[in-house]
Chain A
Amino acid sequence: MINKICESLRAAVADIEDGSVVMIGGFGNSGIPMQLIEALRLHGARELTIISNNAGTAEDGIASLLRDRLVRKMVCSFPRSSGSIWFERLYEEGEIELELVPQGTLGERIRAAGAGLGGVYTPTGYGTRLADGKETKVINGKGYVLETAMPADVALIKADRADAWGNLVYNTAGRNFNPIMATAARITIAEVKTIVRVGDLDPECVVTPGIFVDRVVAQEVQKHDAA
């Protein structure tokens, strides 16, 4: 019997170790696994490398991991959204390392890791500062930059519905980085709004097949988040 359902958010993140590389899905606050992030914060693993498009705003999500000084390095494309006070503070203090990656390159490095590729040649960033020190190649007269695969120890992702096999469907633009991150980590943990019976998801519409997902955990109803 395959049953990937975890009984609690706490249990889902209990084995994340200090120094782990953790992917976190989401674009701004869309499709972000807020409850798994809070569970990770309470779990307290330190010296984390976080791979995510943004670096959190206000006191929420990734910003709360930064505030608690659990993060050593951020890999992201747009760390400086309005209200990214914790990232800006730590950056100014020199307390956090930043690897800035163009958004499409971030996605392709994640996808390459999940697809068993060593990397990809992308035209993005060719001739710019973000290609400094990287191998380049001219293919059919156009310049490309070699960007290597970027795997992770853990991916925390957010989906709308799941079954016990780990098949996932998403809500509107909430899918963003979640499906590709699911493929690229040793352990993929999905926070979902609803768990349905195996067989209830339309196989034509499954976005992430269960093979990529290790653990599924239902959102816990919170005082401020009854949705």
Chain B
Amino acid sequence: MMRLSTDEMARRVAQDIPDGAYVNLGIGMPTSVANYVSDDKQVIYHSENGILGVGPAPAPDKIDPDLINAGKQYVTLLKGGSYFDNAESFAMMRGGHLDIAVLGAFQVSATGDLANWATNNDKFPPAVGGAMDLAVGAKQLFVLMRHTTKTDEAKILEQCEYPLTGAGVVKRIYTDLAVIDVTGEGLRVRELYGDNTLAEVQALTAAPLLPPL
């Protein structure tokens, strides 16, 4: 089967980000999507800590210790960018002002439930950050994740086993095997990479998949 690398997965999401979009990229793999958005598109990145117009990492001698992204990495501000407080930043999220959010996930259900903030390990302190706000608020929520766990267990399930971040919030799933839309009829495969077949991908998915239209 053809499995995309993490860079190729990020590149695939980047193709679907339109010119002029306001976008929030989650911590981890989603952050790297920005590296692959082509230069002919103008995309404005939002960071939950209060930035619109996030730019690339600064040169070492240009670091501003206050200017970080949600992953606590140093960033820069593009021309035309702005700063604001937490309440305004989350008003942008909940209020439906962001066009696209890209988040990682532990599990996604057949109806678009998202689980990405806690496992069922009680010894480990939970952390949620801005994930629940992004999940309910962005106009379109894309999930970027590997199709299965490291031990080949399905991450796309009839119902999530881990605690939910949001119910019925995911619009599209980008994995290393395929692109899958969450629709009213169920999970519909939008694209299979390489020679991957529906049957092969279905075998690694614990919810029914509909064939591409």
Interface residues of A (CB under 8 A from B): 27-31, 53, 77-81, 87-88, 91-92, 98, 100-108, 110-111, 122-130, 170-180, 207, 227
Contacts and interface: CB of A to CB of B under 8 A. Distances in A.
Contacts of A88: 125
Interface string B123-160: 11111111111001100000000000000000000000
A219 B17 CA distance: 44
Nearest to A114: B87
Interface in B74-124: 77, 83-87, 89-90, 93-94, 118, 123-124
Nearest to B86: A107
Contacts of A101: 128
Contacts of B128: 77-78, 100-103, 130
Contacts of B123: 92
Contacts of B51: 173
B67 A77 contact: no
A173 B167 contact: no
Nearest to A81: B72
A80 B83 CA distance: 25
Interface in B36-72: 47-51, 64-68, 72
Contacts of A175: 50, 83-85
Contacts, number: 138
Contacts of B129: 77-78, 102-103
B90 A179 contact: no
A129 B85 contact: no
Contact of A103 (B84, B126, B133, B163): B133
B189 interface: no
B49 A30 contact: yes
A180 B85 contact: yes
A87 to B, nearest CB: 7
Contacts of A174: 66-67
Contact of A100 (B49, B68, B126, B165): B126
A100 B137 CA distance: 20
B94 A177 contact: no
A205 to B, nearest CB: 11
A88 B85 CA distance: 28
Contacts of B132: 102, 104-105, 124-125, 128, 130
B164 interface: yes
Contacts of A87: 125
B166 interface: yes
A178 B136 contact: no
B68 A104 contact: no
